[in-house]
């Protein structure tokens, strides 16, 4: 069985999840479900980044111990993903023993390569970014992203020889044009590696919270150095070699565009140094804004995905985010657009079509599937798969909606209620075509809106969804078997309360 390994960034726990975090996590869930539908052994890793200084500060504000605070917050993040229909295979916390062991093993490999040396760091550190920041990048003395003054630091640190890997990284990016996507991000990284990349401090002397540097326990590791390793820990690095060999390298690492330098320069260099293969692809998506401003915990304008879901339902929120904003680009979040999408595409579109088809099957054929007639959907599937390959989620959904439109047109053209009276022999073929096309629509929609898809499939008499792993069978025309019982269910997308 082919494997698929997808990761999301592990989030800081200094606040609760907002819609931007949910976006990345939904995208990974969509990819993972899509691959599972295609019969892959898919592994989706999520997690929390707990060794950051900002977590310590949030704990202090709450008058809690850091440990108590991160435990509570990590549980909240896990619970949120569960409540949003996210099916991750594992959840990694960087305070776990298994992670500390993996970090130790990784550090030792890099140390042996001779890529770690001691030096003095003098400069600025932005806790919002959890990164060292150059004086020349400050705007009015503040970090341009977090709008806060960074801390001035002078201390003994361990450094990682990042600059040593300049040529090797550029060579890899050149030979693997799909490694960094979208293309605009690739160009940004090439320019960074060529012109700005320097050795990086990977330890802090003055901190207590974090993973101790294995060779010198007076220091703790820089949080990014430890955090990136989570992608290895999550699939058994240093513990379960069989699992690790099976899943690593990752097929897709999803990140927001704000953290690509870490994922496309530091991370691959760390892996080369440790003698490990590089991820096949890093895909950077864009940012949501609200009225043009970045949504973030530190700016205090976050949208809670749970509030949205309470109003619209999980499926509708997932649908809106991936239909409305091309993956990889920035987008403005607008509640009224979600409303419009809900009413037009979901309630009046998919929901209404499902109800109409099932009603007709019940009315004219007592809920039994009529005899199969020929039909063609291959080219829709081909298009859909190509779009998935290119991360064009909005287009893949549009393809499913093309099929919805075909059904609506067929109903309008043939008017089954007229046929029933005037040309009843034609009716079974039309109803078969509609039922079978609806089955294909449900599967195309499944990675995005799992609950709605499952409801439609169950109305169509397709049960035991999880056991279906034969993608060829799913895509083939003729999946609806004559005589199968179908049954209209509850309304899929009820009208919203005004």
Which residues contribute to the site for ligand MSP (CB under 6 A)? 9-12, 20-21, 23-24, 49, 227-228, 230, 255-256, 258-259, 287-288, 294-296
Answer yes or no: 21 catalytic.
Answer: yes
Q: Which is nearer to ligand MSP, 232 or 353 (CB)?
A: 232
Nearest to 441 by CA among 403, 473, 408, 478: 403
Q: Which is nearer to ligand MSP, 43 or 364 (CB)?
A: 43
Q: Provide, rounded to whole angstroms, the least separation between the CB of residue 117 and ligand MSP.
A: 24
Q: Provide, rounded to whole angstroms, the least separation between the CB of residue 439 and ligand MSP.
A: 34
Q: Provide, rounded to whole angstroms, the least separation between the CB of residue 354 and ligand MSP.
A: 32
- The rounded distance, in Å, linking the Cα atoms of 120 and 199 is 12
Q: Provide, rounded to whole angstroms, the least separation between the CB of residue 411 and ligand MSP.
A: 39
Answer yes or no: 263 catalytic.
Answer: no
Per the omega criterion (within 30 degrees of 0), is the bond before 249 cis? yes
Q: Provide, rounded to whole angstroms, the least separation between the CB of residue 497 and ligand MSP.
A: 28
Q: Which is nearer to ligand MSP, 9 or 461 (CB)?
A: 9
Q: Cβ neighbours of residue 387 under 8 Å, at least 6 residues apart?
A: 393, 395, 396, 399
Q: Which is nearer to ligand MSP, 5 or 23 (CB)?
A: 23
- Among candidate residues 99, 126, 281, 407, the one labeled active-site is 126
- Among candidate residues 35, 99, 100, 129, the one labeled active-site is 129
- Among candidate residues 35, 54, 104, 146, the one labeled active-site is 146
Torsion of CA 105, 106, 109, 113, to 10 degrees: -160
Helix (H) or strand (E) holding 11, with range, is strand 11-12
Q: CB of 449 within 8 A of CB of 321?
A: no
Per the omega criterion (within 30 degrees of 0), is the bond before 269 cis? no
Q: Which is nearer to ligand MSP, 160 or 432 (CB)?
A: 160
- Among candidate residues 35, 143, 263, 475, the one labeled active-site is 143
- Among candidate residues 164, 261, 294, 368, the one labeled active-site is 294
Answer yes or no: 143 catalytic.
Answer: yes
- The rounded distance, in Å, linking the Cα atoms of 212 and 285 is 33
Answer yes or no: 129 catalytic.
Answer: yes
Helix (H) or strand (E) holding 273, with range, is helix 267-273
- Looking at 134-249, which runs of residues are DSSP E strands? 151-160, 180-181, 200-201, 203-204, 212-213, 216-221
- Among candidate residues 21, 100, 263, 281, the one labeled active-site is 21
Please give the structure tokens belonging to residue 340.
């419009």
- The rounded distance, in Å, linking the Cα atoms of 381 and 385 is 6
- The rounded distance, in Å, linking the Cα atoms of 442 and 433 is 14
Determine the number of helices (DSSP H) and then strands (DSSP E) in the chain: 21, 17
- Among candidate residues 219, 285, 297, 455, the one labeled active-site is 297
Q: Provide, rounded to whole angstroms, the least separation between the CB of residue 241 and ligand MSP.
A: 22
Q: Provide, rounded to whole angstroms, the least separation between the CB of residue 409 and ligand MSP.
A: 37
Q: Which is nearer to ligand MSP, 331 or 429 (CB)?
A: 331
Answer yes or no: 126 catalytic.
Answer: yes
**Phi then psi for 221, rounded to 5 degrees?**
-70, 145
Q: Cβ neighbours of residue 376 under 8 Å, at least 6 residues apart?
A: 477
- The rounded distance, in Å, linking the Cα atoms of 102 and 110 is 13
Write a three-state SS string for 175-201.
HCCCCEECHHHHHHHHHHHHHCCCCEE
Q: Which is nearer to ligand MSP, 37 or 110 (CB)?
A: 110
Q: Provide, rounded to whole angstroms, the least separation between the CB of residue 94 and ligand MSP.
A: 9
Q: Which is nearer to ligand MSP, 24 or 58 (CB)?
A: 24
Q: Cβ neighbours of residue 345 under 8 Å, at least 6 residues apart?
A: 319, 323, 401
Which residues are tagged catalytic?
18, 21, 126, 129, 143, 146, 294, 297
């Amino acid at each position: 069985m082919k494997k698929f390994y997808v990761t999301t960034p592990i989030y800081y726990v200094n606040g609760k999840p907002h819609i931007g975090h949910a976006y990345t996590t939904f995208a990974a869930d969509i990819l993972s479900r899509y691959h599972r539908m295609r019969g892959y052994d898919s592994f989706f890793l999520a997690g929390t980044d707990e060794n950051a200084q900002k977590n310590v500060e949030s704990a202090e504000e709450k008058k809690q111990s850091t440990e108590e605070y991160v435990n509570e917050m990590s549980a909240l993040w896990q619970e949120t993903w569960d409540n949003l229909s996210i099916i991750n295979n594992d959840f990694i916390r960087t305070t776990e023993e298994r992670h500390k062991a993996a970090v130790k093993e990784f550090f030792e490999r890099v140390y042996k390569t001779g890529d770690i040396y001691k030096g003095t760091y003098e400069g600025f550190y932005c806790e919002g970014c959890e990164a060292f920041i150059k004086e020349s990048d400050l705007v009015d003395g503040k970090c341009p992203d977090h709008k806060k003054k960074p801390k001035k630091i002078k201390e003994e640190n361990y450094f990682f020889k990042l600059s040593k890997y300049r040529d090797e990284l550029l060579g890899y990016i050149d030979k693997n044009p799909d490694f960094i996507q979208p293309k605009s991000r690739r160009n940004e990284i090439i320019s960074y590696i060529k012109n700005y990349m320097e050795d990086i401090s990977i330890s802090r002397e003055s901190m207590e919270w974090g993973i101790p540097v294995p060779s010198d326990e007076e220091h703790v590791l820089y949080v990014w150095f430890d955090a990136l390793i989570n992608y290895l820990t999550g699939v058994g690095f240093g513990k379960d070699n069989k699992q690790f060999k099976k899943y690593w390298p990752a097929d897709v690492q999803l990140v927001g565009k704000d953290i690509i330098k870490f994922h496309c320069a530091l991370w691959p260099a760390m892996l080369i140094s440790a003698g490990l293969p590089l991820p096949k692809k890093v895909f950077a998506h864009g940012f949501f804004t609200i009225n043009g401003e970045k949504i973030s915990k530190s700016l205090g304008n976050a949208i809670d995905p749970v509030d949205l879901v309470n109003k619209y339902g999980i499926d509708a929120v997932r649908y809106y985010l991936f239909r409305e904003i091309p993956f990889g680009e920035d987008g403005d979040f607008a509640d009224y657009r979600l409303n419009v999408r809900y009413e037009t595409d979901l309630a009046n579109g998919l929901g209404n079509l499902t109800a109409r088809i099932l009603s007709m099957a019940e009315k004219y054929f007592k809920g039994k599937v009529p005899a199969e007639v020929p039909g063609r959907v291959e080219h829709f599937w081909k298009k859909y798969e190509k779009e998935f390959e290119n991360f064009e989620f909005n287009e893949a959904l549009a393809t499913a909606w093309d099929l919805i439109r075909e059904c609506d047109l067929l109903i309008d053209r043939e008017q089954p209620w007229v046929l029933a009276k005037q040309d009843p022999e034609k009716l079974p073929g039309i109803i078969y075509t509609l039922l079978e096309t609806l089955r294909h629509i449900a599967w195309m929609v499944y990675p995005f809106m799992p609950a709605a898809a499952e409801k439609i499939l169950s109305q169509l008499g397709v049960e035991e969804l999880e056991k279906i792993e034969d993608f060829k069978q799913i895509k083939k025309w003729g999946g609806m078997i004559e005589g199968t019982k179908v049954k209209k269910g509850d309304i899929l997308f009820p009208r919203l309360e005004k």
